[in-house]
Amino acid sequence: MRYFIHLIAILALFLPTLAEAYDVLIVQSSRNSAYEEVLKGFRNTLRSSERLIVLTDYAEADIVRIVREDQPRLVLALGDRALKATKNVRQTPIIAMMALGIHDKSSARTNLTGVGMYIAPRPYLNLCQNMNAKRVGVIYNAAKSEWYLRQARQEARRQNIELVLREVSSPKETLSQLSSMAGVVDAVWMLPDSVAITRETLEAYMRFSHENRIPLVSFADAYLGLGAAAALELDRLDLGRQAGEMASALLNGTSVSKLPLSQPRRAVYKTNRSVLKNLGVILDQTETINISSSE
């Protein structure tokens, strides 16, 4: 039975190779609307031939072999799983998106570029400024977010905001580190750090905000419903366009080394008005607006 499934998978993967060659191999972690939105932006920018592989549709997909067989000019990896799947693709340029692990040291390769998930610190700190938060608490894992915190510290100094930093090496430390920030911060800035924020510790952030009446500034609107006061979320369509521009440059002969890992250009600003009202926070922007950032 297992051999039969493998046979079907292999046939499904290699039969399309009988068709004509393509430029971009799109490796998508799973099927969801966020990836579709990103792809829509990508395709709007880049009109090229492509092949799409959704990893969750296959029991086991050998991307390296597909790349070797199909010889695409470019690989577009959507999500962390797709990034991992293309780990052993060494020659073909890879553009990664929607992957938190793109900043990990382990992921660093010469043929890899892409757009990170971290929105530049400036709009976050601007938002904190608008909330009159002069002391902003941040919990982070050095391996995941140290590179981002360097930018954040610079921007904080520029805006005269004090960053109260708490480093955690495992999620279990988050609780005590959060407790230690009680009374010493005016707002908590949640980073998309998979160690500092987990499903288990998420409640601690929300409870901390509620118990200490401190607003949470998040990176995803999914947390607004759970108690975060405001969020700066990626503009996925623009993220796709951004990746499309990078792909277009690569296909036109630009070297990967000349296209470093970039940050998202645009973010969508969203708030939970009820939480803001309950916390007594008044924002200048009363409507949801787009905040642009640039490298």
Partner 1 sequence: MRLSYLKYLQTSFRFKLFAIFTVLTLLITLIFSVVYIRSEIDSQKTRAEQRASLLATHLAGNISLPLFAENRAIMKQILKEQAALYPDISAITIRNEDKRILVDFVRTPTTRPKNELTKLVDVISNPLGVSPEDAMTGDSSPPIAIIGSMQLSLDISDMTVKIRELTYKSLVIAFFFWLVVAVLSYLVLQKVTQSFKTFLEGLETIKAGNYSITIPVERNDEPGRAAAAVNGLAAALRSRDEENSRLQEELVNALKMEVQEEKKQLMAKLIQTNRMTFLGLLAASMAHEINNPNGSIRLAGLYLSRAWLDALPLLKRNADEEGDFSLGGIPFSKANREITSCCATIERNTELISKVVHDLRSYSLGERYEFNSDVNVNQVIYNAISTVRAYGRHGDMQVSVESQADLPLIYGSRHQLEQVVINLLLNALQAMPNVTGTVTITSSLNQESDKVDITISDQGSGIAPNDLERLFEPFYSTRLDKGGSGLGLFVTNFLVSQHHGTLDFSSELGKGTTVKVSLPTPTSHP
Q: Is 107 near partner 1 (CB under 8 A)?
A: no
Minimum Å gap between C-beta 98 and partner 1 is 5
Instruction: Please identify which residue in 42, 140, 148, 219 interacts with partner 1, judged by CB under 8 A.
Output: 219
Strand 162-167 relative to strand 216-218, pairing: unpaired
Instruction: Please identify which residue in 88, 132, 169, 176 interacts with partner 1, judged by CB under 8 A.
Output: 176
Instruction: Please identify which residue in 83, 136, 187, 204 interacts with partner 1, judged by CB under 8 A.
Output: 204
Q: Is 98 near partner 1 (CB under 8 A)?
A: yes
Q: Phi and psi (nearest 5°) for 60?
A: -155, 120
Name the DSSP letter for residue 55: G
Q: Is 222 near partner 1 (CB under 8 A)?
A: yes
Minimum Å gap between C-beta 243 and partner 1 is 14
Q: Is 251 near partner 1 (CB under 8 A)?
A: no
Pattern 51-90, partner 1, x by CB under 8 A: ----------------------------xx----------
Q: Is 278 near partner 1 (CB under 8 A)?
A: no
Q: Is 238 near partner 1 (CB under 8 A)?
A: no
Structure tokens at 79: 């999500």
**Amino acid letter, 149:** L
Instruction: Write out the binding residues for partner 1, residues 124-163 only, by CB under 8 A.
Output: none
Closest CA to 96 of 233, 262, 237, 220: 262
**Amino acid letter, 245:** E
| Residue 33 or 160 having the CB closest to partner 1 | 33
Instruction: Please identify which residue in 57, 60, 146, 203 interacts with partner 1, judged by CB under 8 A.
Output: 203
Query: 75: which residues sit within 8 A by CB, 6+ positions away?
Result: 24, 25, 26, 27, 63, 67, 86, 89, 92, 93, 94, 95
Q: How many residues bind partner 1 (CB under 8 A)?
A: 37
Strand 266-271 relative to strand 74-78, pairing: unpaired
From 129-137, 166-174, 242-250, 267-275, span contacting partner 1 (CB under 8 A): 166-174
Structure tokens at 133: 């938060």
SS3 content of the chain, % helix, strand, coil (to 5): 45, 20, 35
**Can you list the alpha helix ranges (DSSP code H) found in 213-286?**
236-251, 273-279
**Amino acid letter, 172:** K
Q: Is 172 near partner 1 (CB under 8 A)?
A: yes
Which stretches of the chain bind partner 1, using CB under 8 A?
A: 29-30, 32-35, 79-80, 98, 100, 117, 171-176, 192-194, 197-204, 207, 218-220, 222-223, 226, 233-234
